[in-house]
Amino acid sequence: MVRLAKRFTFFLLFLVMTAGVSLAAVPQESNEILPLSQVRAGMQGYAYTVFAGDQVEKFDLVVVGVMPNFMGPKQSIILVELKGPKVEHTGVVAGMSGSPVYLEGKLAGALSLKLGIFTKEALAGVTPIEDILHPPEPSAGMAPGAGQFALPTTAAAPGGLPYGAALQPIETPLVFSGFQPSALQPFLTQLQSYGFVAAQGGTAEARPDDGKLAAGDMAGMVLVEGDASINSACTVTAVRGDKVYLCGHPFLNFGDVQMPMARSRVVTTLSSELSSTKIVNMGGSIGTITGDHLTAVTGKLGPPPAMIPLDLTFRMGSAEKKLHFEVVNHPKLTPLLVALTTFNGVSQNYLYGEGTTLHLTGEIRLKGHVPVQIENTVAPTDTMAPDSLPIALVVQNVFGRLFTNNFEIPAVEHITLRVESLPGRQSYTVDSAWLEKGEAAPGETLKVRVLLRPYRGAARIEETTVRVPDQMARGTTLRVLVSDADWMNRASRGFVFASMAGGGGPDGLDQLIALMNRERHNDRLYVGLFVPAPTLVWDDKELPNVPLSQINVVDGRPGPGSVQVLRESLASESSIMLGGPVSGLISLNLQIR
């Protein structure tokens, strides 16, 4: 019995010791912080991060020195060297940004920068904890977003310094789930300009403990979720009540934001001499990212903010595929994210195939405004660019125009997009056109015939009519314009393009939407009859046949604003739907007898 009691006592001691070992791997640190003024070269310390699973691991480091004013005026950096088998093998890992750094058992800051990509030592920069918890005021005259980090696209950093001589922000992995590399390729330039490192990952089921964050765990921003997802991922530096500090550097330096925050779970860490990174799955939403500033990203635990629902339907023959996404609402990100998500949803769809004509229709519902209508047709080309890419660019252009307006941030309630695939390349060129006769009487209706050449097919003739206004004087010469949508838009409302490019344009979002909804569609042939009478174009309104006295009053305003006088007025217009893009322009004269 004595021997049995001794064995049981030893077993209890063993459990306590092993429990102590496992607990030591979890950051149970005090909330005491170490001011930058007390940091000295040679100080020993440690940091926490996740290399795999949910296990927060500890690694050692030593302070190399302090670099005053490195990030900007009064923005210092602590330079450290990482120690230990794992970090010496992987170096500084993308996704490690935000890892809490402790010196003398006190929280000193967060890993945020790395030195070079082929260096022999794992050197990193640490953002001081004082700047994370209490960010300095922006410098006078600095606009929100100024100082944003972006990775150079050449082999040298700005100023000609090689990578090994400059500290760079630790890359923030942008985790793509449900995206193939080919779907990201057309957007790499835009993604790289933001300083992202694209990484494939997955999505994990939400867990009840997702919101129980501690220093060293991983979390990030949700940009897209649903049938495919895009998220950022970095390490949590500290949690104070319901407030979370992470990354140690900006995501995009957007300032105050409202974006969903989600838990990240590391599958494994990929070691690379070029750029080590973490492979992660995104977990459930746990709150809201509220700040994106120079020294840290901040969030608040709780319910996430609303996102924009995006429903995408792809149809080919009788088969149909429906996808649903939720996209973050942000003026600078939403146009790119909607385009990327649309392109991926179309091109990675099992119904999709190259060499087909794609017809896009859609609607953007806005709070307090009429919906924006989208319609465009894209025919395949002989280039190596994906045939579905123009669809994404059309969508990106529409959202770009909406979000860059000078009036208000649009509150998008829902996006509905539908893409129908038609076999073959259906496109047409206007070859020639003629009137049934060269002169007409006032009130007369004339036939107009147009010779169209389809892509690799027999030429065809289409016929429509134009009607001469009753009040036309004899001897007047009218102009019949046979054209595609773009030329007809320019001829009848040319001011729209010129004034918007020059800073004028509509006076409100309603007028911008009205102009966008009135633009003609590229899969139609247009025939317009223009009379030699001035048209006054004011904002989104066209006033034909305006008396010269009124034009002189308006046209003599001190500033041109969005008023334009066109020398012709569109008297009548007809169109023919052809089912594929139309290009070309022919102008005919019609004499009134």
Q: What single string gives the DSSP state of each residue in 378-414?
A: E---SSSS-TTHHHHHHHHHHHHHHHT-SS----EEE
What is the pLDDT, as a whole number, of residue 275? 63
Flag whether pLDDT at 326 surpasses 90: yes
Helix (H) or strand (E) segment spanning residue 513 = helix 509-518
Mean pLDDT calculated for residue range 482-494: 86
Mean pLDDT calculated for residue range 406-413: 90
Q: Which fold has domain 308-423?
A: Ubiquitin-like (UB roll) (3.10.20)
Strands 243-246 and 172-177: unpaired
pLDDT one-digit tens code per residue, 112-165: 887 655 555 778 888 899 888 876 554 433 333 333 333 333 333 444 444 445
Mean pLDDT of the chain: 81
pLDDT one-digit tens code per residue, 253-309: 889 999 999 998 877 666 655 566 667 788 889 999 999 988 889 999 999 999 999
pTM of the model: 0.75
Flag whether pLDDT at 251 surpasses 80: yes
What is the pLDDT, as a whole number, of residue 538? 58
Flag whether pLDDT at 418 surpasses 70: yes
What is the pLDDT, as a whole number, of residue 144? 37
Flag whether pLDDT at 371 surpasses 90: yes
| In CATH, 169-301 is 2.40.10 | yes
In the chain, domain spans:
36-133, 169-301, 308-423, 428-592
250 confidence band (pLDDT: 50, 70, 90)? confident
Helix (H) or strand (E) segment spanning residue 431 = strand 428-435
Distance, in Å, from the CA atom of 167 to the CA atom of 319, rounded to the nearest integer, reads 53
Q: What SS3 state is found at 178?
A: coil
pLDDT one-digit tens code per residue, 5-55: 444 344 334 333 444 333 344 455 667 889 999 999 899 999 998 888 778
Phi/psi region, residue 434 (left: phi>0; alpha: psi -120 to 50; beta: rest), is beta
Classify residue 117 as exposed, middle or buried by CB count within 10 Å of its CB (0-12, 13-18, 19+).
middle
Which CATH superfamily does the domain covering 36-133 fall into?
Answer: Trypsin-like serine proteases (2.40.10.10)
- Is 36-133's fold the same as 169-301's? yes
What is the pLDDT, as a whole number, of residue 547? 59
- The residues, any chain, with a CB within 8 Å of residue 428's CB and separated by 6 or more, are 452, 453, 454, 455, 525, 578, 580, 581, 582, 583
504 confidence band (pLDDT: 50, 70, 90)? very low
What is the pLDDT, as a whole number, of residue 554? 53
Q: What percent of the chain has pLDDT over 70?
A: 77
Mean pLDDT calculated for residue range 337-356: 91
Flag whether pLDDT at 350 surpasses 60: yes
Strand boundaries in 84-217, DSSP class E = 100-103, 106-115, 123-128, 167-169, 172-177, 196-200, 202-203
What is the pLDDT, as a whole number, of residue 17? 41
What is the pLDDT, as a whole number, of residue 242? 93
